[in-house]
A and B are shown apart, each in its own frame.
Chain A
């Protein structure tokens, strides 16, 4: 078999055309999300000589060997892992900030101090009706702010659970999509541009999935991917063409748990440690703790005041009646004001007569309040929340930096560099022109031969 100059030139021109196409595709997708830079791998077409033709020249030009996708599996896994961490911290901080705003902006602390100070003011003149009315109004404000804080916390919880439900739906959509991509990948020809597009899609889906949950992906030899969530020993979410269904369960205290069904008979519980779903679950756990503490403060305050009321007599000499309703046990949401008349405040001791200016029982109430110290407890609660927010914000910022570092590292390796594509454009254009020259030469040779007379 001899070589054919014309067909060698043709194959060279064709290869240069393909390379130019790939370069143009790279330039066009320079800012496409999830696009990985392609390059062509060319291979020589030649055959070794057979029996009797050893030493023969048998060159047949060049062919396209593969369209190479310049993706680094390790960097992609890093982007997924750090991205999931960053999203988790982001969701957690957002939830915690809402919790902080709910407790802080309801002004519970200030209204508790207001109640405390109006009680102290009453000591100065225990029979004054205006000071007594002041105490009742401050108590009403305090009850109102407790109710507002409880409602605000509840709506924070509702919002977080709603977003988590939406996240679960997204995860299920993405995992279904991934299973379909798996099926098509198993059928796609190796190293074809079809396969590279599917691989882009696969990696992009995995990255989107990692925003919601921590993804542990295993790439099989046929390029399909097996996905587990909640760590490498967690439950399977996608295997081949099958996708499991992620489910969310709300516990009675408002916290949430996750489980995957579809692979085993019973849903396999998933302990998510990354992604926005994990962040929301963590924020809900903190929310439950904050609600319990707030209820505890309301309970302690109302019980202390009501007990002290029962020990004394009011302005008319009758035994004191409870000031707060809604318990026991009182919660921040159930707390209500039972007393509307300032004259019912039991300032005098039970041994006194009606209209007494003796503030003995009022002093006992103030002593009991400063012993149980609900105001200090409230300050502690606010400090706890704000300290958590501050600490988590630092963590979140660090994780964000790490995640964007990993993202930039992946982009630097897998992204399109326009300068380089400009060089490629010139190079392959020259290659195309050179191959054209080869064909010109072949024609000239042919013409030379024909011209022999």
Chain B
């Protein structure tokens, strides 16, 4: 009884469904290509989208680590150059003290040397109170004010905190941002003076006072100066190591950033070659089904019956 087991409306419905499906698939592929991103909404690939979110979060936090590392590097370099100046001053004072220890020196000459040492000490106090890149005390730890205070008699007291504090460099790594004054100015236990600045004051006072004690004070001072120099060079080594550590973590962070960027492209990027191929395939099928639809739709018995 039935010629073709297909009603006219069923044929049209099926054809339109197929063609609409192909069309929407082609449009989806085209959108992927023009965006360069495979994922426009999280539901396109929930796992990939979540991974992308985590990568972007890590990336953003890593940029802060870069800023922190730059801050730490600046402060450590400031510390390093200040330490270099300290070392120069101590060398100069050592020359002067060696002259003063000479028995042929007169009291007047020793007095002059003592005054010069007092001047240099003043410069060293200024240097110890220098500021870091953020405006805080470079050698004052985490205190808000100056690192050292000087009283009317010229005695200095450390006013900062015990440590300089750490800066996070990412991945749980930290670096100590600088040195506190006592960390390189304190003399080893057993010395005549507690720290270098006090020792210099004792030395310059004794030289300016003159007399027999002056030559002995100069000899004692040489020992303290040599210990102070040791402390300063040790501190320079520490700072150098910290700078190397910051460089190491920066390099590691750069590698990780590159890796993350690669993964982001892998997870979220469009694979151009395969997408274009699939688009071409879909277009071919679409054109074929459109052509066959027009051919089939024009097949009507009515046009043949006269």
Interface, chain A (partner B; CB < 8 A)? 30-31, 37, 97, 100-101, 104, 109-110, 113-114, 116-117, 120-121, 123-125, 127-128, 352-359, 375, 379, 382-383, 385-387, 389-390, 393, 404, 407-408, 411-420, 422-423, 425-426
Contact = CB atoms under 8 A, between A and B. Distances in A.
27 contacts: A116-B61, A117-B64, A121-B64, A124-B167, A128-B134, A355-B144, A382-B42, A383-B47, A386-B41, A386-B43, A386-B46, A386-B49, A387-B43, A387-B46, A408-B10, A411-B10, A412-B5, A412-B7, A413-B7, A415-B7, A417-B3, A419-B8, A420-B2, A420-B3, A420-B4, A422-B301, A423-B301
Which 5 pairs between the two chains have the least Cβ-Cβ distance?
A: A415-B7, A386-B42, A355-B144, A389-B43, A411-B10
Given A120-B64, A423-B301, A383 B41 contact: no
Contacts of B7: 37, 411-417
A117 B7 CA distance: 65
A355 B45 CA distance: 49
B142 A357 contact: yes
Contacts of B46: 383, 386-387, 389-390
A50 to B, nearest CB: 38
B4 A419 contact: yes
Given A100-B43, A379-B54, A422-B301, A30 B2 contact: no
Contact of A357 (B45, B136, B301): B136
B142 A124 contact: no
A411 B53 contact: no
Interface string B283-297: 000000000000000
B161 interface: yes
Contacts of B43: 97, 100, 385-387, 389-390, 393
B180 to A, nearest CB: 12
A307 to B, nearest CB: 22
Interface in B6-56: 6-10, 12-14, 17, 41-47, 49-50, 53-54, 56
A123 B168 contact: yes
Contact of B50 (A101, A352, A383, A422): A383
B142 A417 contact: no
Given A383-B46, A416-B7, 6 more contacts: A120-B61, A120-B168, A356-B161, A383-B47, A413-B7, A425-B305
B260 interface: no
Interface in B269-306: 300-302, 305
Contacts of B145: 355
Contacts of B12: 31
B58 to A, nearest CB: 9
Contact of B53 (A354, A379, A385, A420): A379
A375 B9 contact: no
B40 to A, nearest CB: 10
Contact of B61 (A117, A353, A414, A416): A117
B56 A113 contact: yes
Given A383-B46, A386-B42, A124 B71 contact: yes
Nearest to B299: A419
Contact of A416 (B9, B49, B63, B68): B9
A393 B28 CA distance: 15
B115 interface: no
Contacts of B17: 404
Contact of A412 (B6, B54, B61, B136): B6
Contact of A117 (B41, B60, B71): B60
Nearest to B65: A120
A356 B44 CA distance: 49
A408 B9 CA distance: 9
A178 B5 CA distance: 32
A357 B141 CA distance: 8
B268 to A, nearest CB: 14
A415 B9 CA distance: 7
A260 to B, nearest CB: 33
Contacts of A413: 7
B42 A113 contact: no
B139 to A, nearest CB: 13
B144 A417 contact: no
A117 B58 CA distance: 10
A407 B11 CA distance: 11
B136 to A, nearest CB: 6
Contact of B14 (A110, A117, A128, A408): A408
A206 B129 CA distance: 90
Contact of A114 (B14, B50, B60, B305): B60
Given A113-B57, A125-B134, A379 B13 contact: no
Nearest to B48: A386
B67 interface: yes
B42 A357 contact: no
Contacts of B2: 417, 420
A353 B144 contact: yes
B63 A117 contact: yes
B49 to A, nearest CB: 6
A382 B53 contact: yes
Contacts of B262: none
A426 B9 contact: no
B198 interface: no
Among A113, A417, A420, max chain B CB count under 10 A is at: A417
B165 interface: yes
Contacts of B6: 412, 417
Contacts of B9: 30-31, 411, 415-416
